[in-house]
Structure 1
Amino acid sequence: MAPTTVEADPAAARRSLEALALGDAFGERWFPLFRAPRQAYNEVRARRTPPEPVWNWTDDTALARALHQVLDECGEVVQDRLALSFALAFDADRARGYGHGMHMLLPQLLTSPGDWRTLAPGLFEGGSLGNGAAMRVAPLGARFHRDVGHAAGQAARQAEVTHAHPEGIAGAVAVAVAAALAVRGEFTLDEVVARTPAGSVREGLARAAGLPFDTEPWRAADLLGNGSRIRADDTVPFALWTAARHRDDLEAALWATAEGFGDVDTTCAITGGIVGAAAGVGGVPDEWLRRREPLN
C-alpha cells in the first residue's frame, strides 16, 4: 500500500503523544493501588501533586507509541503492521495494565498478525466496544489535522485491529477528530458530534455539548460517565468535555479530568492527547515532566 498523500504533521503528533503519556502517568497516580479513595479525593481537590518520584505510564501510552511508530514508518495505518506492533508492545511488558480483551487478542497476533480480521470481531460477541482504541489515537488525529476526514478514516482503521464494535470505532473517531480540530484551533464539542458516527458515543457527546462548563467536573462525570465501565461511550464524552473546558491549559485539563476518577489514567490520556496536540506540555510544572517515565 502506497503512503498517503495527505500532508502529515509529525511535530503535532509528537506534542500530542508527550501530553497523552503525561496524562496517562498522572492519572494512574489516583488509582487505589496508590491511594485510598478518600485520600485521592482530597489530594485532587487540593491540587496536590502526586508524591511518587516516578510516574509510570500504562498500556494507553504503550499502544499510542506503537501506533505512532507505525505512522512514522508507513505514513498511514497499515493494519497488519499495526497488529504486530501492538503485539510486540504487549509482549515486551504485559504489566502495563492491559484489559482482558487485549490479553486474549494480542498474544495471538504476535505470530499471526493478520488474524486480527477474525479474532477482533470475535471478542465479546461482536467486537470490543471498550475505550482502548480511543485512548491511543489522539496523536494520529494531530498528525493528520490538515484533513479531518482523513484523520477520522485512519482512526477507524487503527481501531478495527483491536476494537471491531461500532462503538469502539466511534470512540476512536471522536478523539482523533477532536485532536485534529484542536491543532486547527477549531475544537468544539458540537463539531466533534457532527463528525462522529451515530450511536451511543455520539449521543454521549451530544449530552456533553449541552453541559455548561461551569458544572463541577465530578458532577459532569456522574452525568457523562468516567470510564469505570471500560466502554467508549462511558469514557469519551467526559474526557472530551474536560478537554473542551480547558482547551488551552493542559495542567487545568488534567486536574479537572482527575476529579472524575473512574478509569482516570485513560480519561486523562485522552484529554491530555487532545489539549496537548495544540498546547504541548510546556505549561505544566517542570516536576511533572521530570517525574513522568520517559518515552524514549
Structure 2
Amino acid sequence: MTATPNPGLSPHALARRSLEGLALGDAFGERWFPLFRDRPQAYEEIRARRTPEEPDWHWTDDTAMALGILRVLDEHGEIRQPELAQAFALGYDADPARGYGYGMHQLLPRLLQEPDRWAELARGLFDGEGSLGNGAAMRVAPLGAWFRRDLRLVIAQATLSAEVTHAHPEGIAGAVAVAVAAALSTRWDLNIHTVVEATPDSAVREGLRRAAGLPFTTEPWKAADILGNGHRVRADDTVPFAVWCAARHPDDLTSALWSTAEGFGDVDTTCAITGGIVGARTGVGHVPQEWLSRREPVPGAA
C-alpha cells in the first residue's frame, strides 16, 4: 500500500512524519549490527525479508539529534544556531550512550556549557578542518520537510543546521542534499538530478551524480559498492546510497528500508536518512505494525 499526498499538512506535521520515518529507519538499521558478525547469514536474512528478532528496537544519536532540530523549529520557526547547539548538547547530556561519534563526544559536552561558542568549537574539530562526517545529514530530513515549499530556504536552513557541528564543506553538502531530497519527497517529486543541482560542489555532489546515473534495477549491495555504504562515516560515503535507495522506493518505506539494509555499512545511519526522506512522503502508517510496536517511542507531539 502507498500513502496519498496531503498538501494541507502543517510544517510541523510534515516534519514529524519525516522524523517518525527517520527514527524507524534508525532503530531498524541498528538491529542488524549484531548480526554482521556472520555477514553471509545476515545478508540471507535481509534478502529473505526476515524481521530481526530483538523485541526492543532502540534509536540512536541520529534520532536524538533530529529531535533537537525539530524542537528548535517548533520554538522559533527557523534554525537559530546557539539554540540548536544547546538542544544538541542537552540531548547528549540526557543519554550520551546513544552511539554518538568521536567528534560529538568531544564537542557536545563543551556546547552544554558554552553554546554560544558553537562556531569556534565546531571548526576546531579534526585539526581545524571541521567534521566531514555523516552526522549533519543523518538528522536533517525533518527540516527539509518543514521548509518544503522553498528549496532555496531548505538549502539555507540545512546549511545553518549543519554548521553547528559539521563545519567541513562535505558535512554541510551532505545535510543540504538530504534536506532537499526530503523536501522533494513531500512534493512527490524525488528526482536525484534535482538533488544534484541543489547540492554544493563537493564529493557528495559527485557521488549523487553517480547515483543519478545508476539504474534502479541495480542490486542494492552492488549500488553500495559503487556509491559507498557509510562504512567510512563520511557524508560522501553515505548520502548518495541512501538518497538512491529512497528514490528507488519513493512511496514504499518498508521496501526502502530493506533495500538500504542490503548495503550493510553504517546501516542505522543509511536507514535513518532513507527513512526520513521516504517517511516525509508516506508517514509510517503502512509499515508492519510489528516494527512500530518494537521501535522505541519518539518523544513529542505528532
User: What range is the shorter-chain TM-score in?
Assistant: over 0.9
The yes-or-no answer on 1:167 pairing with 2:170 is: yes
1:123 shift after superposition: 0.8
1:209-224 superposed matches below 5 A: 209-224=212-227
Paired position in structure 1 for 2:245? 242
1:21 shift after superposition: 0.1
Number of equivalent positions: 290
Paired position in structure 2 for 1:49? 51
1:69-107: CA deviation from partner (whole Å, max 9, x where unpaired): 111011100100000110010111011000000000000
1:19-168 superposed matches below 5 A: 19-32=21-34, 36-125=38-127, 126-168=129-171
1:147-296 superposed matches below 5 A: 147-296=150-299
Paired position in structure 1 for 2:4? none
**8 Å contact from structure 2 (residues 136, 175) kept in 1:** yes
Matched letter for residue 118 of structure 1: E
CA distance in 1, matches of 2:140, 2:106: 21
CA distance in 1, matches of 2:152, 2:29: 30
CA distance in 1, matches of 2:16, 2:284: 11
Paired position in structure 2 for 1:4? none
- Segments ≥4 residues shifted beyond 4 Å: none
1:226-269: CA deviation from partner (whole Å, max 9, x where unpaired): 00000000000000000000001000000000000000000000
CA distance in 2, matches of 1:33, 1:72: 38
Matched letter for residue 104 of structure 2: M
Paired residue secondary structure (1:124): helix
**8 Å contact from structure 1 (residues 8, 146) kept in 2:** no
CA distance in 2, matches of 1:10, 1:151: 15
CA distance in 1, matches of 2:97, 2:223: 31
Identity of aligned residues (%): 70
CA distance in 1, matches of 2:70, 2:39: 34
**8 Å contact from structure 1 (residues 8, 144) kept in 2:** no
TM-score normalised per structure 2: 0.94
